Amino acid sequence: MCDWKKEFKELLFSSADKEAKRQAFDLKEKNIPTQLFRYRPLNAYTLLELANETVYIQSPLNFNDPYDSWTKFSAMAGIRDNSSKKIFKDALLPHYPENQLDEIFKSPDWFENLYELVFQSTGIDVLNVALQPTLEALNQKAATTGQQIMKVCCFTEVNNSLAMWAHYADEYAGICVEYDMTRFQCEDIQRTRMFPVFYDAELADYTDYFLNNSFSPKKDIFLEGSLHKLSEWSYEREWRFNIGNGVFDEDVNYQFPAISSIYMGYRLPDKYKASLLNIAQVKKYSLNTMKIMSYGIDYDTVYEP
């Protein structure tokens, strides 16, 4: 993760301080790329998007990665408050006498004493094992809630990714759309709600949110999860236009008047080329066609307004 993204993430998610969050958004504003891209299959819906200058924002439940916007709870991280005692007791009653557990819970150091008891007596991390079903239930509830209320449109920093042409542009039979982000003012929602994606070896840990916040759609607590992807996806260099917290109940087309160029895949069917040229001429988009070179992808300009 580059330095500014790491700093941005810490400012935005590690503090409830309003000044820190303002600094985070100021830092992001300075680093939003001049151009962003979307790989698209070409069909009637895509042509309408181009003609109407909209993007489709939708629930991550529809995305190809089942772990998209998924979160986790870790058993041992922060679960030491009194409200957790019942969870521990219910989980450990099959393993220890109730009176022994009750005696431990009376102590101010109940968590340390409990951990010492179960670890020394078994040699394994019984707390994590015993709590796993409860944590998985929390994971399912939190992740599904987040996926349902977030509405996301995915962009990338690059227009020459072989993998993304294959995965998202119908195996080179689709298009890549370029968006000129300088057309928006810094206060426009298309910039304020455009975020970089963070890549990590593990899922976003929401234990602290669970202990200190309620899962209310009015809080932006699911934003971190929706911007967090596993490291395998880092080649996508993704940015996300993200409108969450239940603002929209359904997936919607949202105005995004910033298209500057269209890139046609080298397998694009001829039947679409006239329609694309017509849209490009009417809307003043640059139109380009792909060529496959020994050194990689390149493009020739078909129409320049």
**Which of 23-27, 49-53, 138-142 has the weakest average pLDDT?**
138-142
Res 263 pLDDT > 50: yes
Q: What is the helix (H) or strand (E) element at residue 143, kind and residue range?
A: helix 126-149
Q: Report whether pLDDT(122) > 60.
A: no
Q: 216: Cβ–Cβ under 8 A, 6 or more apart, which residues?
A: none
Confidence of residue 40 (pLDDT cuts 50, 70, 90): very high
Closest to 224 measured CA to CA, from 210, 101, 77, 186:
210
Tokens of 226: 């929706």
Q: Under 8 Å CB-to-CB from 39, ≥6 apart: which residues?
A: 156, 161, 164, 165, 167, 168, 169, 174, 175, 176
More confident residue, 140 or 74: 140
Rounded CA separation 247/237 (Å): 26
- Strand, helix or coil for residue 206: coil
pLDDT tens digits for range 186-204 = 999 999 999 999 999 988 8
Span 169-185, average pLDDT: 98
Inform me whether the pLDDT recorded for 214 exceeds 50: no
Domain ranges of the chain: 1-31, 32-72+144-303
CA 61 to chain centre: 11
**The pair of three-digit structure tokens given for residue 140, joined into one six-digit string:** 């399912």
Residues composing the chain = 305
pLDDT at position 176 over 70: yes
Tell me, what's the pLDDT at 130? Answer: 59
Task: Tell me: pLDDT of 272 over 60.
Answer: yes
Return the pLDDT at 215: 44
At 16 the pLDDT is 67
Instruction: Copy the structure tokens of residue 106.
Output: 């009376």
The identity of residue 225, as a single letter, is G
At 82, is the pLDDT very low, low, confident or very high (cuts 50, 70, 90)?
low
Contact in structure between 127 and 75 (CB atoms under 8 Å): yes
pLDDT in tens, 236-252: 999 999 987 667 888 99
Asked whether the predicted pLDDT for residue 208 surpasses 80, the reply is: no
- According to DSSP, the β-strands at 286-293 and 259-264 are parallel
Give me the chain's average pLDDT, please: 85
SS3 content of the chain, % helix, strand, coil (to 5): 45, 20, 30
Looking at residue 88, what is its pLDDT? 73
219 pLDDT band, cuts 50/70/90, is low
Give the confidence band of 1 by pLDDT, cuts at 50, 70, 90: low
| Least confident among 60-74, 114-128, 148-162, 172-186 | 114-128
- pTM of the full predicted structure? 0.80
Count of alpha carbons within 13 Å of 203, Cβ hemisphere only? Answer: 19
Chain centroid to Cα 58, Å, comes to 12
Report the alpha-carbon distance of residue 165 to residue 40 in Å, rounded. Answer: 8
Alpha carbon distance 204, 227 (integer Å): 9
Element (H, E) at 129: helix 126-149
**CB within 8 A of 153, min separation 6: which ones?**
38, 55, 56, 57, 58, 240, 241, 254, 256
Higher pLDDT, 266 or 14: 266
Residue 212 pLDDT grade (very low, low, confident, very high; cuts 50, 70, 90)? low
Band (pLDDT 50/70/90 cuts) for residue 210 is low
134, pLDDT greater than 80: no
